[in-house]
Amino acid sequence: MNRLHLFLFGLIVMWVQFGCINKDGLKQKESQATEEEFDKIEILHAKGFRVSYFEGGKFLEVLHPKSGEVLDQIVLISSEKAVLPDSLKSKKSVKISLQKVASQSTTHVSYFDRIHVLDKLYAVGFADFVRNENAKKLIDENKIKNLTTGSQMNKELLIDIQPDLFFMYPFDQQSIEQIKEHVKTILTTEYLEENPLAKAEWIKFFALFFNEEGYATEVFNQIVNEYDAIKLQDTNHEYFMNLPFNGIWDCPPANSYSVSLMRDAGLGYEFQEAKQDENLAKTVEEMLDRCLDTEYWIIIAQRNTGFSMEELKSENYLYSEFAAVQKNNVIVCNTAISDYFGDALLEPQIVLKNLIEVVQNEKDSTEYFYRLK
């Protein structure tokens, strides 16, 4: 073989090798693109949902946080080239990112706002109870419509809006089935989570529908770091909670969100032995018998602005018998002005800090809690 032939042969070999390398490199990049298409989430505290990923999409399951029962499933498709596993082809699905959603609950408003997709929320139930300032502005402008009249859902309005997805609770099976005939739905169970960080982690759940997992994870990690840095390990004060309604005093069970929050603020619950799914139903007389000498009374309720100790006493003359009232140890979160059931879910570290300041440091007033005077 002369030098020219050797030279040409070398060029051919180099060209073939270069082509193979390029093809292999391209395949590697395509593989990486598929794997990195989503910022995959890791669920650390919440027990009410789980997610798995496939090429071009996600599979989301909603669970009962206490029993682990699967309540709902949905496939989230983000690409026309999505490769659905055979096991998912018959499942309910939606294309993401969603452009138009509706929600049964005011609680969800804060999650949408925090991941910057409030403009995608077209309707919400009980809109007149929304405390989130950004959402209230959109409600006033009729950009977010009220889905309820009194206590009844306006199903006709919901159907007319035709959202890509309707977020709702698993309360009324008959209503769920009726709505599902016209609108795609997804159940949510964040209200059943047992601690503040678990509820806050539901920001990742809502982020899944808008491909905002990366941002949601950053937000949540900051919440966890700040919360863990200030929570107390020991309880040094006893307390009871809430107010009666129509003669029944509903106290949260020991395995509930509010009790977990109080425990992290150094408060020991009077009914710590009561771990169950439902609230404890007590009479005023039963509470007086059990909690007469309990040091603190924590009230989370809607009252008029400036609600005072005298107004509390005027609601029931028996309240004056409680040691917590006599010692001015009644701590109030007035949900008429503090968004305890909304924005607070995504800033539990601030709620905890406020509670510690009022109880442990005897501060009179904070953003979420104040000492009744």
Residue type, 20: C
State residue 24's pLDDT score.
42
Residue 286 has pLDDT above 70, yes or no: yes
Please give the C-alpha separations between residue 340 and each of 36, 132, 196, 301, 347, in angstroms, as whole numbers. Answer: 37, 11, 11, 9, 10
Output 83 or 23, whichever has higher pLDDT: 83
Tokens of 53: 């990923």
DSSP assignment, residue 78?
-
Q: Please name the residue ranges forming H helices in 43-171.
A: 107-114, 133-140, 155-161
| Residue 357 near residue 363 (C-beta atoms within 8 A) | yes
Kindly report the pTM of this predicted structure.
0.88
pLDDT digit string (tens) for 240-281?
Answer: 999 999 999 999 999 999 999 999 999 999 999 999 989 999
**Res. 172 pLDDT band, cuts 50 70 90:** confident
Do the strands 101-103 and 165-168 form a parallel or antiparallel pair, or are they unpaired?
parallel
**Domains of the chain, with CATH numbers?**
97-221 (3.40.50.1980), 231-371 (3.40.50.1980)
Cβ neighbours for 261, distance < 8 A, ≥ 6 positions apart:
195, 196, 348, 351, 352, 355
Do the strands 330-334 and 296-301 form a parallel or antiparallel pair, or are they unpaired?
parallel
Question: Which is nearest to 103 in space by CA: 116, 94, 112?
Answer: 112
Tell the residue number behind the tokens 């799914």, with chain if given.
Answer: 277
> For the sheet containing 185-187, what is the strand order?
145-146, 121-124, 101-103, 165-168, 185-187
State residue 197's pLDDT score.
99
State residue 38's pLDDT score.
67
**Res. 80 pLDDT band, cuts 50 70 90:** confident
State residue 259's pLDDT score.
98
**Res. 20 pLDDT band, cuts 50 70 90:** very low
Q: What is the mean pLDDT of the chain?
A: 91
Please classify residue 100 by burial: count the beta carbons closer than 10 Å to its beta carbon, then call 0-12 exposed, 13-18 middle and 19+ buried: middle
Indicate the helix (H) or strand (E) that contains 32.
helix 3-35
pLDDT digit string (tens) for 314-356?
Answer: 999 999 999 999 999 999 999 999 999 999 999 999 999 999 9
Residue 147 CB coordination number (10 Å):
22
